[in-house]
Amino acid sequence: MSDLVVVSFADEQTAFELRAKLSQLQKEYLIDMEDVVVVTKDASGKVKIHQAVSLTAMGAVGGGFWGMLIGMLFLNPLLGAAVGAGAGALSGKLSDIGVNDQFMKELAESFKPGCAAVFVLVRKATGDKLLEELREFHGKGKVLKTSLSKDEEATLREFIEGNGGQ
């Protein structure tokens, strides 16, 4: 089962930097994430979700491949690819894997304009090594929500909010 961690920042840049750092650490096997999303609220109050992976594009590519393959069976690969890409893009657009989009939008409504948050679904993490690698974010954010144990959440809060002596 995955754990949800939501960390907010006063600016968008820090949130995007954290997402990039977490993605790098996943390549180093220090964290295994199911999903990582940045949600921003601009000066006019509009909430925007920045997915790490575009499901629409992934659906179009997969659908195009399968459509072309099926089209080859019926001697019309171009038509099959076009129909498959369209169907795949539509199914990707309608899919919602990872953190629930509606949940992210509702939580982001309470942000001040210009703020951002990183929503992370963590499958597994090497806690002590992970915090050491994330020391550049010490004291820069605020933990909004987690599904971690009380001890793990307290450690994360001390680190992210700068309340501890890290």
For residue 28, what pLDDT band results from cuts at 50, 70 and 90? Answer: very high
Question: Distance between CA atoms of 36 and 118, rounded to whole angstroms?
Answer: 7
At residue 16, does pLDDT exceed 90? yes
Residue-wise pLDDT tens digits, 48-64? 888 865 444 445 555 55
Residue-wise pLDDT tens digits, 102-153? 888 888 888 889 899 999 988 898 878 888 999 999 999 999 988 888 998 9
> In terms of Cα–Cα distance, which of 3, 13, 33 is closest to 137?
13
Q: What are the tokens at 95?
A: 């899919």
Instruction: Enter the DSSP assignment of 140.
Output: S
Look at residue 166 and give its three-state secondary structure. Answer: coil
**DSSP alpha helices (H): ranges in the chain?**
12-27, 55-73, 77-94, 101-108, 127-133, 150-161
| Greater model confidence, 77 or 59 | 77
At residue 34, does pLDDT exceed 50? yes
Residue-wise pLDDT tens digits, 79-98? 555 655 665 555 545 444 56
Look at residue 19 and give its three-state secondary structure. Answer: helix
End-to-end CA, the chain: 29
- pLDDT, residue 63, reads 56
At residue 22, does pLDDT exceed 80? yes
For residue 24, what pLDDT band results from cuts at 50, 70 and 90? Answer: very high
Kindly list the domain boundaries of the chain, sorted by start residue: 3-52+115-161
User: What percentage of the chain carries pLDDT values higher than 90?
Assistant: 29
- pLDDT, residue 166, reads 40
